[in-house]
Structure 1
């Protein structure tokens, strides 16, 4: 959205805000605003078009421009999955935006890339004070680091959890899920709930992202402490087979379920449970599904809880930006406590600002507090090149096991070898 349109939005927002009690009091003028003259920032975001997230983002940018009259912000939306690739292409042509929204795994893919010997992203350690850094969850801040350099300001985090339709449970006379559940409890309940055109559970059993948490619960890990791939670590094959068996052996997951079809099943009350993230909660609410959430179960054999991958998204400043100070200022604004609170309340986006963990509005929200509880027992995604490359070999591994062409342990061993070969070729 062009800056002129955002300014019109800001004016409307300002009028509305001035009608609120206490909003007519004078505020101190930011020192940077007095210094800013004719500054233009280009920003790439990766929120879905016409989504609530995009609307909150654009309103936040408009508020920033209202507070800093000398700063114009031109906004462009790009597909989330393409953000890192498009940014790298733009940087190679010396046309990178000043600010871009990237995930932690995308930072892992960008971190080692150089143009004319220079990294693509600014190291923000020289721009953020210790107090500014300490405002964020340490795990989230660490996820924005690559080889020690701070390549972004963490604005959000997310993970999967267990959601369920209490009406279907009550109709079948099955007790609701609880934090005390084991994987056996999950399967047994799903079996009781599977009848007619209703399945007990919906999740894409061939998607590695959904497997990561079950791998951790079975005692496995994607990488060791040195970052070396360990896709075939102890417990990993058992976790893969357990996930696939949900469909092929227990029959509690509908055959061929993918990420989109699982949402359709849950929205149509054709699935009693679903493993999904907060990003789809509003969609289910709009579909009048009376959903509830609880922690993913524990694995009885290990005593460990299923620990879904925790991923992070933040704002990164281009190394090529001529306005790094102002770009950093905007990144901090878009990651500020007030903006994160708005994102949380309006879109169920999980905050990274530690003060918001105790915020009354968030604590009192069953959705936000529930997902934050899940997140705290999750597995932080490493910000490494290997994490950005892990999916391709795992796609092949899952396909081979699902088709019955290979045992899980063999498939994961080959996937581990393929990932190590890919990393060596890329170095």
Structure 2
């Protein structure tokens, strides 16, 4: 079986060495030698994304130093949840190719679950981790394999072109678990052949992308037991080429391609090559490409990763190109999310955040009124308690996921960082984990399960959604991206903002995530790249995109342009309207470079507190703060 790279989680750290030699040179009056800079990466890889129950997959990790494999580095590999199968070894030393491998065997399951393989390597005395996700399919979701094979041909001589990227959009997603991606992307082998695997019946369109070439999109049907061979003619492009990496999938990708086509119609002098990258690993892949000097001209980023990439010097500041009309077209908070240490590095395209989604039918059956905009956490506990019954949960939210904890942190008076994004953290108290507010907010969140019994044990995102779609959860916390699944399940639903925390009088505020498009610092077509991102983030294009993906099976993307948000057709979408209400009660999603280092320690802290701290214990707050303090030190390194 051809291996398929699915996710690449790259932990980029800058290690500055030779401090002693620099000091000695200074004392001797000689100019200091150049300080070596190393970008270390830990890349995770898995053979399957959809792992059948009872199936086996190989997982591996590669440690790179400035893109080159490092040998003799011990990489520990673990999997969560650990009860879903067995690893052949808990850790393995890298082989002569710099790769650590282990084999994982899944247990039989009746429901689908998400497995996360975590790779840990010690580099320069400091532990760094990467991960890759594998979805284990339950018995009801076991796939039948179908393959399509194609030969990439060059129009001039009809010879195979090796190492082209093949993009496949798989259709007919009905019946697949939530979160199953609609794209697979593979590199062709030395003979220019590619292979994709899907779950039939699947219709697909396939397009081949290679720098300087283009191909038409072809439709294919994947049929079990049948190999479909498709030949592609690649036409060599003449003139300037603008390469764009996006992370859209499904209907979003369809609308983005239409948007790119509309731009092409305005620029016949420019060849716009659009390539898909998996959302989970796109920033890391961009860092690797930029380090090697071959990054795309334009890239889509979420703001919590934007600062990390900008701090490495890989993105072009846009301030000199932003005239007042361009600045004024965007929501102030959306544009602020693209600002890193005083400079704008991307133009905002869409925004999203969490809110409380509830089942109206279950509320009616219990005689409970729907949540009001000014409700409190006391109201939440009371209402959810009345909605909790055998086989039914009143309120479900993930217990060990930082993204779902941040709203409670803010509601209890805490914050992720205690200094502005323009000020670097100094290692003392600039991260807001080691605070009474942080400890109290974690204990409150865990008490919803452990004290009040409103949800099942330690729910994750997918199990939470599954319970809601099956009608067994009255309230959950989720974003507009899951509303199409709710509508397909024919749930009569409502959307409410997070409640006011009764103990503080402050509203719980989810972080506002903003996705936008930035430009590679070394792009040779920066003017064209800015012209492109200004076009696709214009109010007119944002409106077309939002209406194009809105409603089932869309994703209800919320625009960032003022004129699009005030448009009557956009405001007529009740989902966008309710999430815009929540956006009024949102908090800033930090864009600073240090945000990339927060996720791991926060996840560990929440997991350790969940496991080891009883929320009713007299020492609960002290115990929780001790764990938070320890994990905060990991952020400072």
Which TM-score band applies after superposition, normalised by the shorter structure? 0.7 to 0.9
1:96 matched to 2:299? The reply is: no
> Residue 353 of structure 2 contacts residue 479 of structure 2 at CA under 8 Å; is this kept in 1?
yes
> Residue 481 of structure 2 contacts residue 556 of structure 2 at CA under 8 Å; is this kept in 1?
yes
**Which of 403, 406, 417 is residue 223 of structure 1 equivalent to?**
417
CA distance in 2: counterparts of 1:258 and 1:46, whole angstroms: 23
CA distance in 2: counterparts of 1:260 and 1:373, whole angstroms: 25
1:130 matched to 2:307? The reply is: no
> Residue 297 of structure 1 contacts residue 306 of structure 1 at CA under 8 Å; is this kept in 2?
yes
> Tell me, what secondary structure is at the counterpart of 2:444?
helix
CA distance in 2: counterparts of 1:408 and 1:5, whole angstroms: 61
1:67 matched to 2:266? The reply is: yes
Which has the higher mean CA deviation after the structures are superposed, 316-325 or 66-75?
66-75
**Which of 245, 249, 273 is residue 44 of structure 1 equivalent to?**
245
Structure holding more helix per residue: 1
> Tell me, what secondary structure is at the counterpart of 2:540?
helix
> Tell me, what secondary structure is at the counterpart of 1:304?
coil
State the Cα distance separating 1:362 from its structure 2 match. 2.2
State the Cα distance separating 1:384 from its structure 2 match. 0.7
Q: CA distance change for structure 1 residues 238 and 411 in 2, over 3 Å: closer, same or farther?
A: closer
**Which residue matches 1:15?**
none
CA distance in 2: counterparts of 1:300 and 1:130, whole angstroms: 42
> Residue 609 of structure 2 contacts residue 627 of structure 2 at CA under 8 Å; is this kept in 1?
no
**Which residue matches 2:525?**
323
**Which residue matches 2:467?**
265
CA distance in 1: counterparts of 2:217 and 2:324, whole angstroms: 32
TM-score in terms of structure 1 length: 0.86
> Residue 601 of structure 2 contacts residue 635 of structure 2 at CA under 8 Å; is this kept in 1?
no
**Which residue matches 2:133?**
none
**Which of 554, 563, 576 is residue 368 of structure 1 equivalent to?**
576
> Tell me, what secondary structure is at the counterpart of 2:281?
helix
1:80 matched to 2:282? The reply is: no
Higher relative contact order (CA 8 A, sep 6+): 1
> Residue 396 of structure 1 contacts residue 415 of structure 1 at CA under 8 Å; is this kept in 2?
no
Larger Rg: 2
Q: CA distance change for structure 1 residues 294 and 42 in 2, over 3 Å: closer, same or farther?
A: same
Structure holding more strand per residue: 2
State the Cα distance separating 1:419 from its structure 2 match. 3.7
Cα RMSD, aligned residues only: 2.0
State the Cα distance separating 1:369 from its structure 2 match. 1.2
Q: CA distance change for structure 1 residues 279 and 412 in 2, over 3 Å: closer, same or farther?
A: farther
Runs of 4+ in structure 1 over 3 Å off = 1-8, 405-423
> Tell me, what secondary structure is at the counterpart of 1:313?
strand
**Which of 179, 193, 197 is residue 373 of structure 2 equivalent to?**
179
1:154 matched to 2:355? The reply is: no
> Residue 344 of structure 1 contacts residue 368 of structure 1 at CA under 8 Å; is this kept in 2?
no
> Tell me, what secondary structure is at the counterpart of 2:308?
helix
State the Cα distance separating 1:363 from its structure 2 match. 2.2
1:252 matched to 2:454? The reply is: yes
> Tell me, what secondary structure is at the counterpart of 1:230?
coil
Q: CA distance change for structure 1 residues 150 and 45 in 2, over 3 Å: closer, same or farther?
A: same
What runs of 5+ residues in structure 1 fail to find an aligned partner?
Answer: 9-36, 114-118
Q: CA distance change for structure 1 residues 368 and 391 in 2, over 3 Å: closer, same or farther?
A: same
Which has the higher mean CA deviation after the structures are superposed, 236-245 or 360-369?
360-369
**Which residue matches 1:24?**
none
What runs of 5+ residues in structure 2 fail to find an aligned partner?
Answer: 1-206, 220-237, 550-554, 615-619
CA distance in 1: counterparts of 2:622 and 2:512, whole angstroms: 25
**Which residue matches 1:402?**
610
Deviation string, structure 1 residues 380-412 (Cα, Å, up to 9, x no partner): 112112222111111121111111258455444
CA distance in 2: counterparts of 1:379 and 1:83, whole angstroms: 25
State the Cα distance separating 1:146 from its structure 2 match. 1.2
CA distance in 1: counterparts of 2:305 and 2:217, whole angstroms: 28
CA distance in 2: counterparts of 1:411 and 1:250, whole angstroms: 19
**Which of 350, 373, 397 is residue 558 of structure 2 equivalent to?**
350
> Residue 608 of structure 2 contacts residue 627 of structure 2 at CA under 8 Å; is this kept in 1?
no
Q: CA distance change for structure 1 residues 405 and 238 in 2, over 3 Å: closer, same or farther?
A: closer
> Residue 397 of structure 1 contacts residue 412 of structure 1 at CA under 8 Å; is this kept in 2?
no
**Which residue matches 1:309?**
511
State the Cα distance separating 1:242 from its structure 2 match. 1.0
TM-score in terms of structure 2 length: 0.59
> Residue 501 of structure 2 contacts residue 508 of structure 2 at CA under 8 Å; is this kept in 1?
yes
CA distance in 2: counterparts of 1:43 and 1:282, whole angstroms: 27
**Which residue matches 1:32?**
none
**Which residue matches 2:51?**
none
> Residue 105 of structure 1 contacts residue 384 of structure 1 at CA under 8 Å; is this kept in 2?
yes
> Residue 154 of structure 1 contacts residue 335 of structure 1 at CA under 8 Å; is this kept in 2?
yes
State the Cα distance separating 1:225 from its structure 2 match. 3.0
Deviation string, structure 1 residues 7-57 (Cα, Å, up to 9, x no partner): 99xxxxxxxxxxxxxxxxxxxxxxxxxxxx822111111123xx1111111
CA distance in 1: counterparts of 2:577 and 2:314, whole angstroms: 36
Q: CA distance change for structure 1 residues 412 and 137 in 2, over 3 Å: closer, same or farther?
A: farther
> Tell me, what secondary structure is at the counterpart of 2:390?
coil
CA distance in 2: counterparts of 1:405 and 1:133, whole angstroms: 48
CA distance in 2: counterparts of 1:73 and 1:308, whole angstroms: 36
Q: CA distance change for structure 1 residues 421 and 271 in 2, over 3 Å: closer, same or farther?
A: closer
